Chain A
Amino acid sequence: MLSNVGFLSLFFGLISSFVVFLYSVLNIKKNSLNLEKKIYKFLTLQFFFVVISFFILSYSFFISDFSNATVYNNSHSTKPLFYKITGLWGNHEGSLLLWLLVLTSFILFFFFNSKNEIKNFRLYTVIFHQIIVIGFFIFVLKTSNPFDTLFPIPPEGLGLNPILQDPALAIHPPILYVGYVGTSIIFASALAAMVTGYVNSIWAKNLKKWVLISWTFLTGGILLGSIWAYYELGWGGFWFWDPVENISLMPWLSLTALLHCISTLEKRDLLKSWSIILCIVTFMLSITGTFLVRSGILNSVHTFANDPSRGIYILSFLFILIFMSFVIFFIFESKNLENKKQIFFLSKETSVLINNWFMIYFLSVVLIGTVYPIFLDVITSEKISVGPPFYNKLLIPFLVPFFLFMSVGPSMNWIKTNLKFKVSYIYYFLLTSIATGITVYFLSQKNLLTIILIFSLFFLIIKTLPNFLKNNTNNSQNLSHLGFAMLMLSILFNSVTSTEIIKNIKVGDSFISKNEKITFKKVRTEEEKNYSSIIGIFEIKNNNNEIIKLNPAIRIYNQPVVATSEAAIKTTLFKDRFITINLIKDEQLFNVRYQNKPFMIWIWISTLIIIFGGTFAIFSKKKNYP
């Protein structure tokens, strides 16, 4: 019953989308005050219907209404309430409903927030955006209806994948979706600006907020996913160049390029075509991500169901959008996007170009690395794996020049910079050399590439820090750049100094790792509502006789029956101690993996600093930086 209402509400949502679309198309030539009110009304209505469906599905999860197929497949009556609700987007159908919710709220928000912009630009943005909205409405209704009903009503649900029952992962999808869906506004706005000849600094200034919102949330979503992978997947890593991770990284890279490019357009009225291309590419990458993940081509925790009809639908949708963007781009490109301004070598414009150059290169590495195996499989039916060795070889050497350009780029002026020799440069250089020397000595590093990377990163940090003190400086940019440098440095330190030891031991045994003695005290079992766990009690004694207790566990979930290994992590400012246990078949032994991971928390802190930078930029008053 309730499910039918939810479905009907979605259907009405689709109808309102059509109304908005047609009404906007028919009224482009007209000019009346009523127009705005009508579009408002129907956009609100469209949003309202999606909200109703969303609430109905939430409620079905809340009361564990197993007559609903989505609830039946992904929930269980013994699950904690929090995971019942967040289980809504832990599956294909529900997550698409969430996608629709964000999509429809954003276009409403855009319309509300763009009152000062020209009428036709707003109308065209709504039109292009409605094409996406309608596409997704039909996708949900036709191939992934979250309101399918079951009869007879099953007494109990199948449960949610246990590794998804986790607080970080519960909020990871909504945050990530805000980032992804934000790119749909960027896309629609770019097409509309081309059609109406509105690609100028005002447009860039307004669009920049949307770029910042998407970028900040995408960064946050990736951060949450990494944190989750770190403590939940039980191997102590946070990034594995898994295709699903790459898919979130690709739009991030092109958004970062766009963020720099759009500032140039705002300040100098330059790089118009390129900005438009980046806007389109960013959104395409988001949709491609959805296609690759949802079609079952890639295997991961994100692949909820392998239904080929879904993949085909998204693929056709993607082709329509690409075709549309191409046509619009080629019709209007020459008319609207001309610029004949000169770019001088030593200028901020050049630094932005260099940033974009590297970003696109990184993007191409990740993109080729992700899709090449798929194409090779289709064409020659040979399967290859493209893993960390590939990315390390192609990315790391290019990071050195990238960091160096990044350290000098922000101090360039627009138009032209007169390079004067300053004594401070010698200080920067000396300071960097000393810092690098000390660090390399303490890490006892002999790898030349690592030393060069440390040097360039220290230079970047030392060059960025004084920027905070300058007058008239863009502090959100400084913050994000500093955060990025710290992130890279923490990852580098972490990867060269991490140690680990794997032992098969019995209860009561102990072993030595570096200066620490790890003792396996005892085993305890516990019963929870939705799982039972075997907990290992460990004590770690260091040189100063301080004792740290760590309790890693093996959880056996009841619905569905799955065993997961829960890591125990002791985080301090300088290092994480990470321990997991696993059962070994037919033996009294436990497989214990103990890892020392220095600077782990700094990886998260620096990413948060990047996010703070983005957040400040979103809320900053429109100041004009030089």
Chain B
Amino acid sequence: MTKKKFIILLILFTNIFGNCYSENEPYSKLENDIAKNLRCLICQGQSIYDSNSEFALSMRVYIKDQINSGYSESQIYKMLVNKYGQWIVYDPGYSKKTFLLWVIPILFFLLGGAIIYLKIYKKKNI
């Protein structure tokens, strides 16, 4: 809810003041947050936020444009994933492909708990 409010405010703000943001203050907090979650495709293990490559700079312009045209954070991710593939976002998300990624560690945890439980309680009954 707050995110929506924030975006609405942002849209209003940018509409009223037009291109009020100057070169002096390049990026908003939302833009930075999005940039932190995107991989710089031509760098080695850096996010768009951390990189100063031309790819990263053009991505930042893209993010700014999309926010200004009223798209939300998740919509922007979706558009980028369609264009560049899942590789570009650092959050693997929940999907059929990533099902095992999330489930295997949890299974490890449950299994470990079960083993410890058996180790402590089963032997008492013998």
Are B105 and A394 touching (Cβ within 8 A)?
A: yes
Interface size on B, residues (CB 8 A): 41
The answer to the question of B97 belonging to the interface, with a C-beta cut-off of 8 Å to chain A, is yes
A301 to B44, CA, bound (A): 8
Are A385 and B86 also in contact (CB < 8 A) when A235-B46, A235-B50, A353-B119 are?
yes
Q: Say yes or no: A344 contacts B120, CB within 8 Å.
A: yes
State the CA gap A237–B101 with chains docked (Å). Answer: 25
- Is the pair B92, A386 in contact by a Cβ cutoff of 8 Å? yes
Bound Cα distance A242, B85 (Å): 19
Once the chains bind, are A380 and B91 in contact (CB under 8 Å)?
no
Q: Does A372 lie at the interface of the complex (its beta carbon under 8 Å from any beta carbon of B)? A: yes
CA distance A387 to B108 in the complex (A): 20
A505: CB under 8 A from chain B? yes
Q: Which residues of B lie under 8 Å from residue A388 when comparing CB positions?
A: 90
Q: Is the CB of B23 within 8 A of A589?
A: yes
Q: Which residues of chain A are within 8 angstroms of B26 by Cβ–Cβ distance?
A: 502-504, 591
Decide: A300 and B44 in contact? CB cutoff 8 A. Answer: yes
- Please tell me if the beta carbons of B112 and A385 are within 8 angstroms of each other in the complex: no
Q: Looking at the complex, which one of A233, A299, A345, A585 makes contact with B120 (CB distance below 8 Å)?
A: A345
Task: State the CA gap A290–B123 with chains docked (Å).
Answer: 41
Within 8 A of A (CB), among B48-71: 49-50, 52, 54
B14 at the interface (CB under 8 A from A): no
Chain A contributes a number of interface residues (CB within 8 A of B) equal to 52
Cβ of A468 < 8 Å from any Cβ of B? no
CB distance from B2 to the nearest CB of A (A): 12
B residues less than 8 Å from A356 (CB atoms): 112
Chain A nearest Cβ from B47, distance in angstroms? 8
B79 CB within 8 Å of chain A? no
Chain B residues with Cβ under 8 A from A60's Cβ?
A: none
B126 to chain A, nearest CB (A): 9
> For residue B112, which residues in chain A have a CB less than 8 angstroms away from its CB?
356-357, 360-361
8 A Cβ contacts from A356-402 to B: 356-357, 360-361, 364-365, 368-369, 372-373, 376, 380, 382-390, 394, 398
B97 touches A376 (CB 8 A): yes
Partner of B91, one of A387, A398, A505, A589: A387
Instruction: List 20 A-B pairs, Cβ < 8 Å.
Output: A233-B46, A233-B50, A235-B46, A237-B50, A243-B45, A342-B124, A345-B120, A353-B120, A360-B108, A384-B87, A384-B98, A385-B89, A387-B89, A387-B91, A394-B102, A502-B26, A502-B32, A504-B24, A509-B24, A582-B52
Using A387-B37, A394-B106, A582-B52 as known contacts, list a sample of 5 further A-B pairs with CB atoms less than 8 Å apart, ordered by residue number in A.
A343-B119, A376-B97, A384-B86, A386-B101, A389-B92
Q: Which residues of A contact B (CB under 8 A)?
A: 233-235, 237, 240, 242-244, 299-301, 342-345, 350, 353-354, 356-357, 360-361, 364-365, 368-369, 372-373, 376, 380, 382-390, 394, 398, 502-505, 509, 511, 565, 582, 585, 589, 591
**Interface residue ranges, B against A (CB under 8 Å):** 23-27, 32, 37, 39, 44-46, 49-50, 52, 54, 85-92, 97-98, 100-102, 104-106, 108-109, 112-113, 116, 119-121, 123-124
In the A-B complex, list the 5 residue pairs whose CB atoms are closest, starting with the nearest.
Answer: A387-B90, A389-B91, A235-B50, A383-B87, A364-B108
